[in-house]
Structure 1
Amino acid sequence: MTTTTTLPHHRMSDATLGLWLGLVGVVVFALTLPMTRLATGTADAPQLSPWFVTWARAALAGGLSAVYLLATRSRLPTAAERRPLLLSLAGNAIGYPLLLGWALRHVTASHAAVITALLPLATAAVAAWLMHQRARLGFWLFAVLGSALVAAYSLIRAVQAGHGFGLTWADALLLGAVLAAALGYVGGAKVTPSLGAERVISWVCVMALPLTVPGALLTWPEQPIHLSAWLALGYVGVFSMWAGFFAWFRGLALGGALRVSQTQLLQPFVSILAAVPLLGESLDAITLGFALAVVATVFMGRRMAAPIPRQPPSHPENRP
Structure 2
Amino acid sequence: MKVEDNVTASIRVTSGIALGALGVLAFSFTLPITRFTVAYLDPWFVAFGRAAVAGVLAIGYLALSRPRSAVAVWPTGAQLRRLVVVACGVVVGFPLFTSIALTQATAAHGAVVIALLPAVTAVFAVVRGGERPSPKFWLAAGAGFFAVLAFVAVSGGMAGGFQAADLWFLAAVVVCALGYAEGGALARDLGGARTICWALVLSLPVTIPVALVSAHELAAASALAWTGFAYVALISQFLGFFAWYAGLARGGVARIGQIQAVQPVLTLAWSALLLREHVDVVTVVVAGVVLACVVLTQRAR
Instruction: Give me the TM-score of the superposition, normalised by structure 1.
Output: 0.74
Question: How far apart, CA to CA, are the structure 1 residues paired with 2:66 and 2:17?
Answer: 29
**CA displacement at 1:152 relative to structure 2:** 10
Identify the residue that residue 126 of structure 1 maps to in structure 2. Answer: 124
Match of 2:199 among 204, 207, 219: 204
Query: Map of 1:1-320 to 2, 5 A cutoff?
Result: 21-41=19-39, 47-74=40-67, 75-131=73-129, 139=138, 143=142, 146=145, 150=149, 160-161=159-160, 166-222=161-217, 224-250=220-246, 256=251, 263-284=259-280
Question: How far apart, CA to CA, are the structure 1 residues paired with 2:83 and 2:193?
Answer: 13
Identity of aligned residues (%): 37
Structure 1 residues not aligned, in runs of 5+: 1-12, 42-46, 307-320
Question: How far apart, CA to CA, are the structure 1 residues paired with 2:209 and 2:223?
Answer: 23
Aligned length: 283
In our comparison, the structure showing a higher alpha carbon Rg is 1
* Contact 2:109–2:157 under 8 Å retained in 1: no
Instruction: Give me the TM-score of the superposition, normalised by structure 2.
Output: 0.78
Question: How far apart, CA to CA, are the structure 2 residues paired with 1:127 and 1:188?
Answer: 10
* Contact 2:111–2:152 under 8 Å retained in 1: no
Question: How far apart, CA to CA, are the structure 1 residues paired with 2:151 and 2:19?
Answer: 34
Question: Bigger CA drift: 13-22 or 118-127?
Answer: 13-22
Question: How far apart, CA to CA, are the structure 1 residues paired with 2:151 and 2:26?
Answer: 28
Q: Report the aligned-residue RMSD.
A: 3.6
Say if 1:119 and 1:214 are closer, same or farther in 2 by CA, change over 3 A.
same
* Contact 1:18–1:251 under 8 Å retained in 2: yes
Could you report, residue by residue, the CA deviation over 1:141-195 in whole angstroms, capped at 9, with x for unpaired residues?
965994797499669958843xxxx521112221211111001112212322221
Identify the residue that residue 7 of structure 1 maps to in structure 2. Answer: none
* Contact 1:143–1:301 under 8 Å retained in 2: no
* Contact 2:112–2:153 under 8 Å retained in 1: no
